[in-house]
Amino acid sequence: MMYLLTGGSGSGKSAYGEKKICSFGDCNRIYIATMENKDGESQKRVERHRKLRRGLGFTTIEQGKQIKSLQIPRGSVVLLECMSNLLANEMYGEGGAGERAVQEILEGIFRLNDMAAELVVVTNEVFSDLPVDREMGRYLKCLGEINAAIAREAAEVVELVYGIPVWIKGLKK
């Protein structure tokens, strides 16, 4: 079953996603980290997230691109964080999918969902009425397409607003 978590920066998505994964009980927990560690700032974020999930029983896979190539044990519970990083890596990173980023990511997500018992995907709510340049508009359009495709298939969609879960789709548990 697939779940989509969205929200703004600092909204509590990560902590909520980890709690959701842990709620599935004692099972093989996999954390797919999509941030590519390229500078001091990203290193700080990576270390912060590692500390937050220490002791929760996650196996971490760092995969900033090409998630459809991942092999995970069937029946695992998987937290994929975060879609906005994955899309940026695929669109703009060396060796990324470029123009095929949306299709490649969705194929990977649905493949992971087929292998996993539970898949929690974290994305960012970055849409607003602010003016953006052409390239940012293209990125946001692609992120919107991915989020909508995942939301259609997800059993549950939750937006985190200031740490408070707001159910968009599915039943509150």
Closest CA to 84 of 35, 135, 153, 14: 35
Average pLDDT over residues 53-64: 87
The pLDDT, as a whole number, for residue 56 is 85
pLDDT at 123 over 70: yes
Q: Return the CATH number at 104.
A: 3.40.50.300
Domain presence at residue 40: yes
Predicted confidence (pLDDT) per residue in 76-122, tens digit = 999 999 999 999 999 999 999 999 999 999 999 999 999 999 999 99
What's the whole-number average pLDDT of the chain?
Answer: 91
- How many domains does the chain divide into? 1
Domain that holds residue 147: 2-168
pLDDT at 39 over 70: yes
Domain presence at residue 173: no
pTM above threshold 0.85: yes
Closest CA to 82 of 126, 135, 39: 126
127, 130, 133, 135 alpha-carbon torsion, rounded to 10°: 0
Domain presence at residue 21: yes
